[in-house]
Chains A and B, each alone.
Chain A
């Protein structure tokens, strides 16, 4: 399974944008980039996913580097409810299983 590298933790302030980085230098052409988050005492929650182009949805934006070796999850205005562990995951083409790493623990300060 292709590996991703994320910072262990990040901090942000409420109502400010947050950029969560992810490195995936061994990504292959058919690997999708997924982001999930897990709030305390809850199951993981889908955030966004993409293959090559940048993606936007109501929760976040995903910016994918041109060489696809890194990506950034952007939360446009952090709220206290966004405090969670964020997982960047690669799924190999043809496989739907998610291989979770340790993720980035995001703290949002009021």
Chain B
């Protein structure tokens, strides 16, 4: 158990819909990261927040957005969903801004039908 929690575990929704994935970091961790893992693209970095502020952006689509709240939990919002958005979405957290180890949650499996 990494100490990072993600909800929900599974999500099935239809194309065009909007969903919110939630992540609670390990106690004391200030950085939260979101990654997407699909069969064809592998594991891809989406976005990082550090202490409430966006710190780095990766291959995140404009239809996707994220935020980190004052209690440090984070949400990833996915809108206008397409079949290709079906993937595992992982959240990770680390101590702060720096080359610290990242602890990954169990992931949310999103299926778009």
Complex CA–CA separation, A44 to B9 (angstroms): 16
Residue A45, interface by CB 8 Å: yes
Interface size on A, residues (CB 8 A): 21
Q: Which partner residue on chain B sits nearest A42 by CB separation?
A: B106
Chain A positions within 8 Å of B97 at CB level: 96
Tier of interface size on chain B: 20 to 34
A32 to B99: give the CA distance in the assembly, Å: 7
A44 to B2, CA, bound (A): 10
* Cβ-based interface call for B16 (8 A): no
Contact B44 A96 (CB under 8 A): no
Minimum Cβ distance to chain A for residue B101 (Å) = 4
Check if A91 is an interface residue, CB within 8 A of chain B: yes
Question: How far apart sit A50 and B101, CA to CA, in the bound complex (Å)?
Answer: 11
Specify the chain A residue showing the minimal Cβ separation from B90: A43
CB atoms of A46 and B45 under 8 A apart? no
Option from B48, B58, B100, B104 in Cβ contact (under 8 Å) with A45: B104
Asked if A99 CB lies within 8 Å of chain B CBs, one says yes
* A residues apposed to B, CB below 8 Å: 32, 34, 36, 38, 42-46, 49, 51, 87, 91, 95-102
